[in-house]
Structure 1
């Protein structure tokens, strides 16, 4: 183990992430033979095989699964040390890993593009969690420096700072009978089939809580793990749905979807920028944190204004 290098650990974790030597080589900007050599040297150093190889199929051995936990921990510790030293140097450069829930992908890239103009020395690496649970895992494992999400995790010590309002609305296809009613009650809405996100989703948790608070029983016709798939299903007339307003701006502008005006809606939560309290932020991460807190609210308020009639109070 004394001859193990951090370079070998990085190569190993990348192969484990993709379960492919070729894709890992592409991600690391190396040749496949170079990746294979690094893994072989690592396996030789620990005297155990880390991968099972059957043709092009690659999988972790039991030893490889255990070693991956420690490899990630070591790389995370090295990243923390590098960030701590960067704070002393006050250098705004290097790689910054940003995680976000899928719903945030509709506005975060525009904000990050503006951030890059102001901070050209920072290389941004984006990771999108399929749902809230996946993003929390990335944050806990040190895979991301900052996370952009709605409901911050309570199961671990984090610092969560709200930077913008996050409205959630009910939607229907044009011409749906519920639209003719004008403003409708939640009980009336519940008589129609609803297309919902999967239970691990923050959007689903918010919808479930909204119905429970008003003592109305949900009628879920189907569950889908993707905002895009849900939008297509609603446009096809398969049911109503409940989504973040930030996911449907294009469809509203094009008249493909319409807002359902429901009593006590929209439900307004907040977008938060989150990081682990146990980890020091690098100057690059601090720069992005300040940028989101300064510019995020105005950017999203501009997005929401045509549909909700103006600025939303974050303290609502």
Structure 2
């Protein structure tokens, strides 16, 4: 059953004259008759009584006309909706983000939402593993995470955003805050509060110490980053995070961590085989612009 056939049927039903209907539709009468006959064959019931050159609607035709009209209207509504979607008049995007990239996301989010208020946005925070699981279940349009947090998979597309150095984060009035830089060996002398297991930052930091055969003084592990930062503000503990994880608004100091492989690459991760919405592409553009300001 095709929309074209439904349109032909409704015009013939309106005029009850195949010749006039064909003329208005700019097709031949034989084409009109053939298409309506195909529709009747598919429905397995006649829609018109054909009495010589005169046609009348059957009971089935009268009942079916309502559904045909609704189908055409729904299809037209769908077309208008897709046009609106293409022109940013409707739609929704769902973004996954690791906590360490929240400050990267926020400026782009504000700008996009201000520029395209008709687009609904959902932001989901989670660990890299949680976000990858959601991507695999098509619950996200894309995720912002650090490279190396998850295994590279062929069905994902990876776009590099920037590199962020790992830093020691401390209270601005602590003794550490006066240092221009610090080594891993030096930081073992201080009590640390780190993200709990499950956060890839924690794995990254543990692997760093292990590669250098060092034993850090991890006093507290916690699965809530805002609380972790509040603990650091007391000056009693320090932490190690990517520099982008901390903003001036947090009221904390960051000290570069010396050593090899101390940078982390932030990226956009999306699913290759999924249609990429125009709104998502526009968000990417704004995100890149905000990062490069």
TM-score (norm: length of structure 2):
0.62
Shift, 1:124, TM fit = 1.5
Q: Which of 141, 144, 147 in structure 1 is aligned with 2:140?
A: 144
Between the aligned partners of 1:106 and 1:163, the Cα distance in structure 2 is: 13
Secondary structure, counterpart of 2:112 in structure 1: helix
Change (3 A) 1:118 1:99: same
Q: Counterpart in 2 of 1:52? A: none
User: Is 2:225 the partner of 1:227?
Assistant: yes
Please list the CA deviations of residues 168-218 of structure 1 after superposition, one character each: whole Å capped at 9, or x if unmatched.
310222443445665433212112221111121122122123223333222
Secondary structure, counterpart of 1:136 in structure 2: helix
User: Is 2:290 the partner of 1:292?
Assistant: no
RMSD of Structure 2 on Structure 1 (CA): 2.9
Change (3 A) 1:296 1:166: farther
Secondary structure, counterpart of 1:107 in structure 2: helix
Change (3 A) 1:94 1:211: same
Q: Which of 257, 271, 279 in structure 2 is aligned with 1:276?
A: 271
Change (3 A) 1:182 1:146: closer
- Segments of 5+ residues of structure 1 without an aligned counterpart are 1-81, 300-316
Shift, 1:120, TM fit = 4.0
Q: Counterpart in 1 of 2:119? A: 122
- Segments of 5+ residues of structure 2 without an aligned counterpart are 1-77
Between the aligned partners of 1:181 and 1:166, the Cα distance in structure 2 is: 19
Shift, 1:224, TM fit = 0.9
Shift, 1:251, TM fit = 5.0
Q: Which of 132, 141, 152 in structure 1 is aligned with 2:128?
A: 132
Q: How many residues align?
A: 210
User: Does the 8 Å CA contact 1:164/1:296 hold for their aligned counterparts?
Assistant: no
Between the aligned partners of 1:296 and 1:175, the Cα distance in structure 2 is: 31
TM-score (norm: length of structure 1):
0.58
Structure of greater Rg:
2
